[in-house]
């Protein structure tokens, strides 16, 4: 089968399509024939070597951790799914390798019929991450949440999941994306210098929680929240120096001492919540662009611009 991998750190051009053996599902797992899979900014950092001190890599490294497709293997201990079902989900944090013709999933849910394959292929990672952080922040009805970097793959989903919990959502993005954020259910604010004053103008009483999807602004975000404990980041590797929790799901052996071993539990329960919201028309997965599997390098190039509005996916 075809799989995207790289055998050395470097620019997107180090990515290539390799012919490899098909993976086999183990106990408690399923395998899918992949129709679409996601690209994540985190993996562009890994590929470039930016995280080489934090995330050890054994070459060749196969990319991708969320995908959607048709079930073709169901192993022992699995119930509620059959060969031929359409699902979306995630690989294990150690195996990854979802950017391939076949992928083994450890967490999954039925593909909502209202979602295209492109939407489903890029959904699971954003849903799981958003659910994990919103759970840690204990976001609930009546609260106000600030999502920093709200127009990206995770931010766009976080807005909708927070709104579904009954929260008021403020989302930061460039002005060109403000109407887009309003469509998703957020009140927009421009990021950058003056952010504290702009948020306070919208929410004089302050916010209850901050979900940082962008990185680089923790002092301002702490000031907005009033307490570092009310801020969670998925993008700022200096989080510990500010007393902020950085949420990740990588196992201890992957994270090294700089990130620490404090991985959060995977929030796979969010996938079922997403299915219900999608059925009600309350959760959409904005897709910034879709590339053929063979053009994974171009997909990584777009991701590295940090200007993609929504999720970038590969079509198989």
- Average pLDDT of span 123-131: 98
Alpha-helix residue ranges (DSSP H) falling in 236-280: 252-259, 269-279
**On the CB side of 22, how many CA atoms lie within 13 Å of its CA?**
11
Residue 250, pLDDT above cutoff 70: no
- Average pLDDT of span 242-258: 69
Distance CA 316, CA 308 (A): 21
Could you tell me the pTM of the whole model? 0.95
Please tell me the predicted confidence (pLDDT) of residue 252. Answer: 44
Q: pLDDT averaged over the chain?
A: 95
Domain 2-122+285-315, CATH: 3.90.180.10
Q: Any idea where the domains of the chain sit in the sequence?
A: 2-122+285-315, 127-259
Distance CA 211, CA 223 (A): 14
Please tell me the predicted confidence (pLDDT) of residue 21. Answer: 97
Distance CA 61, CA 48 (A): 12
Q: State yes or no: cis peptide before 87, omega within 30 of 0.
A: no
- Average pLDDT of span 117-139: 98
Distance CA 289, CA 292 (A): 10
Residue whose entry in the numeric block shows the structure tokens 């060749």:
60
Q: What is the DSSP string of 247-259?
A: -----HHHHHHHH
Asked if residue 71 lies in contact with residue 111, where contact means CB atoms within 8 angstroms, the answer is no
Beta-carbon count within 10 A of 16 CB: 14
Question: How is domain 127-259 classified at the architecture level of CATH?
Answer: 3-Layer(aba) Sandwich (3.40)
Please tell me the predicted confidence (pLDDT) of residue 164. Answer: 98
pLDDT one-digit tens code per residue, 36-94 = 999 999 999 999 999 998 888 999 999 999 999 999 999 999 999 999 999 999 999 88
Which residue spans within 8-159 are E strands per DSSP?
16-19, 30-39, 61-62, 66-74, 86-90, 102-105, 107-110, 144-148
- Average pLDDT of span 187-199: 95
Ramachandran quadrant class, 12 (left: phi over 0; alpha: psi -120 to 50; beta: rest)? alpha
pLDDT one-digit tens code per residue, 280-313 = 999 999 999 999 999 999 999 999 998 899 999 9
């Amino acid at each position: 089968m075809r799989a995207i991998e790289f055998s050395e750190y470097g620019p997107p051009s180090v990515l290539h399509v390799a012919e490899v053996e098909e993976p086999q599902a183990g106990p408690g797992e399923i395998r899918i024939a992949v129709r679409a899979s996601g690209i994540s900014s985190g993996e562009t950092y890994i590929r470039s070597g930016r995280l080489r001190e934090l995330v050890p890599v054994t070459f060749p490294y196969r990319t991708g951790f969320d995908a959607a497709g048709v079930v073709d293997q169901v192993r022992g201990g699995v119930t509620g799914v059959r060969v031929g079902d359409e699902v979306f989900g995630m690989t294990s944090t150690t195996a990854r390798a979802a950017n391939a013709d076949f992928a083994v999933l450890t967490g999954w849910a039925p593909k909502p019929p209202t979602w295209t394959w492109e939407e489903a292929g890029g959904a699971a990672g954003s849903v799981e991450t958003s659910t994990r952080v919103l759970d840690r922040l204990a976001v609930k009805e009546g609260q106000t949440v600030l999502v920093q970097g709200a127009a990206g793959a995770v931010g766009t989903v976080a807005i909708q999941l927070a709104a579904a919990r009954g929260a008021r959502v403020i989302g930061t993005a460039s002005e060109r994306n403000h109407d887009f954020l309003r469509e998703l259910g957020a009140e927009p604010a421009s990021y950058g210098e003056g952010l504290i004053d702009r948020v306070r103008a919208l929410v004089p009483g302050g916010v209850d929680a901050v979900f940082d999807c962008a990185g680089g602004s923790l002092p301002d975000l702490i000031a907005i929240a009033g307490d570092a404990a009310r801020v969670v980041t998925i993008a700022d590797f200096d989080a510990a120096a500010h007393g902020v929790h950085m949420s990740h799901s990588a196992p201890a052996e992957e994270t090294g001492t700089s990130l620490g071993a404090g991985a959060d539990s995977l929030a796979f329960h969010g996938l079922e919540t997403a299915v219900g919201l999608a059925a009600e028309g309350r959760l959409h997965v904005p897709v910034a662009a879709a590339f053929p599997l063979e053009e994974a390098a171009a997909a990584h190039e777009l991701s590295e611009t940090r200007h993609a509005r929504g999720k970038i996916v590969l079509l198989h």
